[in-house]
Structure 1
Amino acid sequence: MASNSSLLPEVVRIAEAASARVLEIYETDFSVDHKADKSPITEADMASHHIIVEGLRALTPDIPILSEESANAPWDERRYWTRFWLVDPIDGTKDFVNRSGEFTVNIALVEQGEPVMGVVTAPALGEVYWGLKGEGAWKRDRAGKTLRLSVVEPPASKRVVASKNHLNDETRTFIEALGEHCLVQAGSSLKFCRIAEGEADIYPRLGPTCEWDTGAAQAVLEAAGGKVRKLDDSPMEYGKEDVLNPYFVASGSWYEPGGA
């Protein structure tokens, strides 16, 4: 069985191939459809999905794949998955449709309920993030420069990264309780990545997300020294029957629930 460190470069390559196709579509007059839950979907979501799934199946035919765009594997099958790929072909489709640039392509490897490898690309921004448990996290920018990532201890005024589309009353109350702060706006899984690279300090998510929305970026953040915890300070769990996540807080290593 190939080691995770040997798989990682190929997973980055697969994510970049999907990102290139997504960017091609992004630069056209694409159409937008809607799923049953009213969320938007474009041909870019499906193109990215197919490139990633085909690439991962060729790379690791023995590891099952759960993607947002094929999330129909029955629980009676998934419950026995101890190691699987978790894919969000485009996180932030609303940002894609609105052409904000803040959408991402996400691939995570989950082992025993924990995301241990993550690759996040931001096609329109030319950014690629990757992280591996026990080995660290990195970013390659638009200029091709690769930097090792590390979270930072927060200043007195904490930089709170929040969703532009999901800033609800519960989240505002949480943020106010942090004391002196400033808001850093970011879309999709880039919110985790901004903390991983030291550009933000904390991301409270007191609203619905699914496992594929968070797995890859959580792996990057944790590999950079940060953490993602439920509100009771227990770890996030992946591979559940219900793919919805509980509320959580992503942060540097400094944050402790109840005493920011």
Structure 2
Amino acid sequence: MTRAELLDLAVRLAREAGDAIQAVRRAGFAVERKGDASPVTAADRLAEGIITEGLREATPDWPVVAEEACADGRIPAPTERFWLVDPLDGTREFAAGRDDYVACIALIENGRPILGVLDAPAHGEIYAGIVGEGAWMEKDGQRRPIAVRPLPAGGVHVLDSQSHRDGAATASFCADLRVAETTRMGSALKFGWIAAGRADVMPRLSSTIMEWDTAAGQAVLEAAGGRVLDAKGAPLTYGKPGYRNPGFVAWGGT
């Protein structure tokens, strides 16, 4: 399959997962707790099943590393090429009745995300991209190219986490910036906003976030001309021990 065909596959599965998530939301659901005390719902599990089954059927030789399977102890080893899936990123927002949650699918090759999809079903938006080939956003059936914007001379729009804040570290980072606006929101949707030129920078300076939380968003953002850098200024890579990320900063334009 070509990269374009692989992206089409990921878009289709993310859309199906998003539809299933919305169906669970309409029907009502219980919130359970995993071993790390993070929330999980029927929507997480249903969406993960849709995505992982579709990926395995289409690309049976590539491992699928998915959040809920890993939480249950089914943790594949990383290979040269593998899928990273967060079926419902922003479960806290979903459980609280907020709209900032996404289904995330990324393809990793040699430690780097090469394509990704973010489906934000409550917003009716899909963000997708292939690194080196461009990114797009779809809303109301209309698809348009997206790209990061130059950093505004009047000050940047900062995106901060809704549920996982490190206020002191974020304040220290922002002290070196001219900040015009700050928005707190959940999930990897923040990557989509920066990719579409709606915001400029997202500092996530703690190391508690996992690779499946960032891979799809990083692929979309890099496809749109942005960057995701660790504390040393190097691009965030994948297949690390335990699939755990260090702190990072996602940037739009320069």
Match of 1:249 in 2: 249
Partner of 1:200: 199
SS of the equivalent of 1:124 reads: coil
The alpha-carbon deviation at position 29 of structure 1 amounts to: 2.0
1:5-40 Cα shifts (integer Å, max 9, x gaps): 122112111111111111000112210100011100
Aligned counterpart, 1:190: 189
**Aligned-pair CA distance for 1:73:** 4.5
How far does residue 185 in structure 1 lie from its aligned partner after superposition?
2.5
Residue 148 of structure 2 is matched in structure 1 by 151
Cα separation, 2, equivalents of 1:25 and 1:147: 29
- Residue of structure 2 equivalent to 1:166: 164
- Distance in structure 1 (CA, Å) of the matches to 2:164 and 2:211: 17
Structure 1 counterpart of 2:146, one-letter code: L
Distance 2:164 2:44 in 1: 21
Whether 2:87 is the aligned partner of 1:89: answer: yes
Equivalent in the alignment of 2:213: 213
1:57 corresponds to: 56
Provide structure 1 residue ranges, at least 5 long, that are not aligned to the other structure: 255-260
- Segments of structure 2 that go 5 or more residues without pairing to the other structure are none
In 1: Cα distance, 2:50 partner to 2:247 partner: 31
TM-score, scaled relative to structure 1? 0.93
Structure 2 CA distance for aligned equivalents of residues 60 and 33 of structure 1: 31
Deviation of residue 52 (structure 1)? 0.5
After TM superposition, list the pairs within 5 Å mapping 1:97-112 onto structure 2: 97-112=95-110
C-alpha RMSD of matched pairs (Å)? 1.2
1:222 has 2:222 as partner: yes
Contact 2:157 2:179 in 1 (8 A): no
Give the CA deviation at 1:232: 1.1
Task: Tell me which stretches of 4 or more aligned residues in structure 1 moved more than 3 Å.
Answer: none
TM normalised by structure 2 equals 0.95
Distance 1:180 1:46 in 2: 39
Aligned partner of residue 141 in structure 2, secondary structure: coil
Instruction: Identify the residue that residue 238 of structure 2 maps to in structure 1.
Output: 238
Q: Read off the aligned partner of 1:104 and give its amino acid letter.
A: V
Aligned to 2:87, the other structure's residue is in SS state strand
Amino acid in structure 1 at the alignment position of 2:9: E
Q: Tell me how far apart the structure 2 counterparts of residues 233 and 152 of structure 1 sit (CA, whole Å).
A: 20
SS in 2 for 1:242: helix
Using the TM superposition, give the Cα deviation of residue 3 of structure 1 relative to its aligned residue in structure 2, in angstroms.
Answer: 1.5
Write the distance in 2 (CA, Å) between the matches of 1:15 and 1:195: 20
**What corresponds to 1:67 in structure 2?**
66
The 8 Å contact of residues 66 and 84 in structure 2, kept in 1 or not, is answered as yes
- Rounded to whole Å, the distance in 2 between the matches of 1:67 and 1:217 is 15
1:181 Cα offset (Å): 2.8
SS in 2 for 1:108: strand
Contact 2:16 2:50 (C-alpha < 8 Å) held by counterparts: yes
CA distances 1:215-254 after superposition (whole Å, capped 9, x unpaired)? 0010000000000000210111101122111110001131
Distance in structure 1 (CA, Å) of the matches to 2:165 and 2:132: 33
Q: Is 1:8–2:14 an aligned residue pair?
A: no
- Aligned match of 1:132: 130
Deviation digits for residues 38-91 of structure 1 (CA, Å, limit 9, x no counterpart): 1000000000010001110111111110000112355xx615x00000000100
Contact 2:200 2:253 in 1 (8 A): no
Q: Which amino acid aligns with 2:165?
A: L
Quote the offset at 1:187 in angstroms. 1.4
> 1:213 Cα shift?
0.2
Aligned length: 249
The answer to whether the Cα contact below 8 Å between 2:112 and 2:237 also exists between their aligned partners in 1 is yes
User: What secondary structure does 2:27 align onto?
Assistant: coil
Of stretches 227-236 and 161-170 in structure 1, the one that deviates more from structure 2 is: 161-170
- One-letter amino acid matched to 1:21: A
